[in-house]
Amino acid sequence: MAVKQVEFYKHNLEQEDIEQLMAVLNSTFLTTGPVTADFEQRFGEYTGMPHVIATNSCTSAMHLALEALGIGPGDEVITTPMTFVATALAIRHTGAHPVFVDVEPETGLMDVSKIEAAITPRTKAILPVHLYGCMVDMRGVFAVAAEHGLRIVEDAAHCVEGARDGVRPGQLSDAVCYSFYATKNLACGEGGAVAVHDPALAQRIRCARLHGMSSDAAARYKTPYRHWDVQTPGWKANMDSIHAALLVKQIDRLDDNLVKRQALADRYREKLAVIPGISLPRERGKNACHLQTVWVSAEQRDWMLHYLQEQGVACTVNYRAVHTLDYFQKTYHHKPEDFPIAHDIGLRTITLPLYPKLTEEEQDYVIDVLTTAQRALSLEESPQGQLQSV
Ligand SMILES: *Cc1c(COP(=O)(O)O)cnc(C)c1O
């Protein structure tokens, strides 16, 4: 138990990324331009998606995609309560309402068999979330969407690299959204992207990410000056060259970093399996290994979270179910038991450190701390009484 401090995440930026950034800083052009376009091109090659539009976040990527698909006030979009709140808020930003369906108990993923019962005449789209790194059954989602004439927008914030049943994120949907937020597998601080198949949809999103203007700053920079116009009111959600510079070379290292996380995830799986009272979500398809969550008992979760922190292990909760958050309870009159499986998982989740720079020594320390915590809890009836005595 020598290690005393384990970070929750360490980024993977290297010298070559810093050089890309310096090249932008030494140029005159900081906002959206050729470097952003270069990133979009390379990311499209990696993901196999023909049109990529880089944005300032995944939240705005989802908002722009939904809006460009014609979703607006009064419409309903079916999604999962076991996700980051941004998924449901992006739906709200269009004026539509999120309609939740419960999740599978073994994986935490949206239960595709429950979608049909949630469809109403106002339903316009399905927004599945690929949780922790594992994909939703997209063939199943596609079948329901096709039968009911619904759009599909995917939240792939956790799943750039994953696949399932021969399908990758985006392949069967209208749009797929990614996040490059500080702790994601591909990270630049703040950033996102939406990828689509339809060139007309790509054009609408590209225009909407920059006020709805008919030309961007890079085009306006050229001579002779051309006047721009606005046909529809857009948003301010473009990715600048500074953030794009940090991403271009990282794409080439995604697969190597995945191999490192896979090895760590396998080690967690093997070593945590023997600790009583701790279970892990079941994997589905090729896991992008974004988050290592463990499920403990609801009564002991907060105590364990605090204990891990006290011992220097940074950890968090991904996620408490969205429908139990105050705004959603009040606005939609949801009760926690409306989606009991997501609620239960939300009460039992702890997310452990998982990133390429995590050493086996640090990981063993995390596992030792968990083992000690679990042993202490099994000796006492009341976990609350344990805080002082451990
Ligand atoms: C991080 C995350 C988002 C939001 O991404 P931003 O880029 O911060 O807007 C959305 N959905 C999920 C599942 C996430 O983990």
pLDDT digits (tens, 9 = 90+) for 273-323: 899 999 999 999 999 999 999 999 999 999 999 999 999 999 999 999 999
Q: Is the pLDDT of residue 81 over 60?
A: yes
Give the whole-number percent of the chain exceeding pLDDT 90.
Answer: 91
For residues 244 and 37, what is the distance between their CA atoms, to the nearest angstrom? 9
Looking only at the bridges linking them, the beta strands covering 292-295 and 123-127 are unpaired
Mean pLDDT, range 137-154, rounded to an integer = 98
143 CB-contact burial (10 Å; exposed 0-12 / middle 13-18 / buried 19+): middle
pLDDT recorded at residue 261: 98
Overall pTM > 0.85: yes
Q: Is the pLDDT of residue 111 over 80?
A: yes
Minimal CA–CA distance to 160: which of 50, 67, 46?
A: 46
- In order, the DSSP letters of 110-137 are B-GGGHHHH--TTEEEEE-B--TTPPP-
For residues 212 and 196, what is the distance between their CA atoms, to the nearest angstrom? 18
Q: Is 181 in the pocket of ligand 1 (CB under 6 A)?
A: yes
- Which single residue is written with the structure tokens 């331009």? 33
Instruction: Tell me, in angstroms, the distance from the centre of ligand 1 to residue 372's CA.
Output: 33
Tell which one of 55, 58, 62, 80 to mutate to probe ligand 1, the residue whose CB is within 8 A of the most ligand atoms. Answer: 58
Tell which one of 64, 158, 181 to mutate to probe ligand 1, the residue whose CB is within 8 A of the most ligand atoms. Answer: 181
Q: Which residue among the candidates 4, 184, 222, 330 is catalytic per the annotation?
A: 184
Q: Quick one: tokens of 326?
A: 């105050």
Mean pLDDT, range 182-206, rounded to an integer = 97
Atom of ligand 1 nearest to the CA of 192: 7
Looking only at the bridges linking them, the beta strands covering 349-352 and 292-295 are antiparallel
For residues 279 and 374, what is the distance between their CA atoms, to the nearest angstrom? 12
Instruction: Tell me, in angstroms, the distance from the centre of ligand 1 to residue 228's CA.
Output: 32
pLDDT recorded at residue 388: 46
For residues 346 and 344, what is the distance between their CA atoms, to the nearest angstrom? 5
Tell which one of 55, 109, 155 to mutate to probe ligand 1, the residue whose CB is within 8 A of the most ligand atoms. Answer: 155
Q: Which residues of 21-60 are buried (b: 16+ CB within 10 A; e: fewer)?
A: beebeeeeeebbbebbbbbbebbbeebebebbbbbbbbbb
Mean pLDDT, range 51-57, rounded to an integer = 98
Q: Report the greatest alpha carbon distance in the chain.
A: 78
For residues 293 and 93, what is the distance between their CA atoms, to the nearest angstrom? 29
For residues 323 and 342, what is the distance between their CA atoms, to the nearest angstrom? 9
Quick one: pLDDT band at residue 384, thresholds 50, 70, 90? low
Q: Is 59 in the pocket of ligand 1 (CB under 6 A)?
A: yes
Instruction: Tell me, in angstroms, the distance from the centre of ligand 1 to residue 269's CA.
Output: 25
Mean pLDDT, range 22-47, rounded to an integer = 97
For residue 76, the SS3 value is strand
Quick one: pLDDT band at residue 381, thresholds 50, 70, 90? low
